[in-house]
Structure 1
């Protein structure tokens, strides 16, 4: 049996059936020649259980005989150490991919534990970012440089970049729980998040006044029609269009008022039913924490009056039903479209619906509410989230600064008065208590 050399391999001709050419210097190392003429290096070995295996090392041409022999020698060492290279290779081929992990993460975790709004955010991140970048990779192959590279590509949108890391990190933590990765191998760990600029926008007193006037106007008369056509098109419109008003959805107006007076999230108000309202005890059942079940929470007089107005005209289980289908509540899009018109007319274009919740939290802090009370008012999951309102409130800080300034001014004035009395003394030095004696 000849040694596998380039000359011997080139001389081997295809036959009607595949045949083998074995190397005489390395047991099990050989070449298979197919009827098509294709030639590949192979290794035939027996496992610890004496099972015979035949492993393809690689095609001739892509590998030289010397390279193939070196690889075969390494594989033989693995076999002697009790490993089965063929089964290892087959296991890697059938190993779950990131796509498989994301499928399981979605069905077993997101759909079970996350609120609908969070599900939408996760779906967008998974579909638009994670699957295109990592979907085909094996779960065990994902490394920290891979994740860091993706994070760097998203640096111009730091909040989104950090959200991507959060979603991926959770999925990979669960991969360890499910036995798809070794423990403590999460590659997202140690990657530094980008600094995010918190949005602390809330309504000022003047803006709140304009909003109130706009809501009243929208409810009673509708809002002026805003002509968004270009100048060329606008000049052809009838003049009466200048005074035209269009109605604003009444349920949407009530939704805005309730959002402002409760500090609730949009989805919480839209899905509220009459069974959640307790008029005798003046409570409204809202989720105690984001995504949790509803529990009664105290409602102000204003909120109860708004609910009473709605209750007098109720026609659905929902407090804010659709006009066309009372069995369903109004959609976020309806409220968002109405809010777009309301905020433009009130000249508060940069205020989002969620900023009404920020306004409630900020006003609560300015009224002297501590983090614990505000956390319960807004139903935050932890007090850390509430600190954004308590720590950024300027009114108590301003009051404290004024008190300190007043004391300093009084102290300075007293010092100046005493020094004036020194100068007025008839050439005599007055020694004040607590001072060191003047040198003679």
Structure 2
């Protein structure tokens, strides 16, 4: 029975089996497609050279169509007829450059990621990975290359400040960017293993340090100052602070009082961030249809970790109940544009933290403060993780040092019992003062 001519339909219908197998083309002897148990399909050329059977991989399907692969195979077989052992030379498709691998990853390897995450990944690839590593071949990559890459990004070698298509692009680099990019690159190399470009991940063993070195939690007096600033901002207004070069439209309307009342929607958003532990994007894009005041939930159809419900405490419910709804605007935190949400909180946040005496406090630190308060209250890390919507317990583990430790409670109990037996009043043993602020 004659072999059929390979075409895209034939190759596409080939099913994976328990072991490798090859389907040969009836139109071009020596040209075939190898199917692996993983489902990967590679075009190959087989020929005899100096009494030995040789094979060379032409490319993969569907990166190459059958016609493209057959054309390459024809060229290789012609070289064999002229006395060249083409299998002695690597084929580029089996050893792509890092730039080519990254392009393939963005097309085929990150379909499970959210659109916003893909945009972030592409930015890291274009601004850091390609400029420093794009020229290298995947199989030539060593751990030392990734270590050097981390050091270069951390040192700011990829930093840029330029205008492209009318938009200013600022790439800062630094250790945080270096850590994020190396983690992404490790995932890209894991994809390369799945595609059988490499067998081991050179990212393994590369030390990149830990995140959250500057993570900040609000306690005691800092929370009080933030609360005072928010109340003042929405009632009598914050004292105006003139900034050199600031736009006049941002100056207070009443120049006699020199106070600025902050937009109530911005203040409500800040309170919700602190009282729910939600991420900024989850609050700014929140719609009234996702708010269940009766049952006390936010029903978020999408978040960083997928669909989730946010349980609302009484203070958060009060904030939501007090927010005025705007006709024909589905969003809770409305913006200036009709039917649109507020785009960011940068300016009101700067005003509030300046007045509260909390320089450097980030909006995301409100989420950390929510988590740290829960951990320190003895609720347990699993519960805190559920409230925050963490997909992995390891993410919540960063707050473990703040958790109410049963061993500490036991130690306190024993020490207090000893003190009582010695005639020392319980309050006299409470002399340790903890610093507040940066953890």
TM-score range, shorter chain: 0.5 to 0.7
Q: Give yes or no for contact 1:202–1:362 (8 Å, CA) kept in 2.
A: yes
Query: Match for residue 127 of structure 1?
Result: 126
The CA deviation at 1:253 is: 1.4
**Structure 2 residue 227 is matched with structure 1 residue 212:** yes
Distance 2:381 2:301 in 1: 19
The CA deviation at 1:206 is: 1.3
How does 1:229-240 map onto structure 2 within 5 Å? 229=244
Partner SS for 2:49? coil
Query: Match for residue 345 of structure 1?
Result: 355
The CA deviation at 1:399 is: 4.9
The CA deviation at 1:208 is: 1.3
Comparing 362-371 and 153-162, the one that deviates more: 153-162
Query: Match for residue 269 of structure 2?
Result: 255
Q: Deviations over 1:378-437 (max 9, x none)?
A: 1111222222223224787765543333234456679xxxxxxxxxxxxxxxxxxxxxxx
Partner SS for 1:213? helix
Query: Match for residue 202 of structure 1?
Result: 217
Q: Give yes or no for contact 2:153–2:177 (8 Å, CA) kept in 1.
A: yes
Query: Match for residue 176 of structure 1?
Result: 193
Query: Match for residue 368 of structure 1?
Result: 378
TM-score, normalized by length of structure 1? 0.65
The CA deviation at 1:275 is: 1.4
Query: Match for residue 97 of structure 2?
Result: 97
Query: Match for residue 166 of structure 1?
Result: 183
CA RMSD of aligned residues (A): 3.3
Which of the two has higher C-alpha Rg? 1
| CA gap 1:155/1:310 in 2 versus in 1, 3 angstroms | closer
| CA gap 1:269/1:219 in 2 versus in 1, 3 angstroms | same
The CA deviation at 1:95 is: 4.8
Q: Deviations over 1:41-75 (max 9, x none)?
A: xxxxx96399xxxxxxxxxxxxxxxxxxxxxxxxx
Distance 1:385 1:261 in 2: 20
Q: Give yes or no for contact 1:47–1:84 (8 Å, CA) kept in 2.
A: no
| CA gap 1:316/1:100 in 2 versus in 1, 3 angstroms | same
Distance 1:405 1:253 in 2: 45
Distance 1:317 1:197 in 2: 35
| CA gap 1:396/1:266 in 2 versus in 1, 3 angstroms | farther
Query: Match for residue 264 of structure 1?
Result: 278
How does 1:259-408 map onto structure 2 within 5 Å? 259-286=273-300, 290-293=304-307, 295-326=308-339, 328-332=340-344, 335-393=345-403, 399-408=409-418
Partner SS for 1:113? coil
Comparing 382-391 and 193-202, the one that deviates more: 193-202
Q: Give yes or no for contact 2:305–2:391 (8 Å, CA) kept in 1.
A: no
Partner SS for 2:91? helix
**Structure 2 residue 139 is matched with structure 1 residue 140:** yes
Partner SS for 1:285? strand
Which blocks of at least 5 consecutive residues in structure 2 are unaligned?
Answer: 1-46, 52-79, 156-173, 246-253, 425-439
Q: Give yes or no for contact 1:215–1:253 (8 Å, CA) kept in 2.
A: yes
Query: Match for residue 29 of structure 1?
Result: none
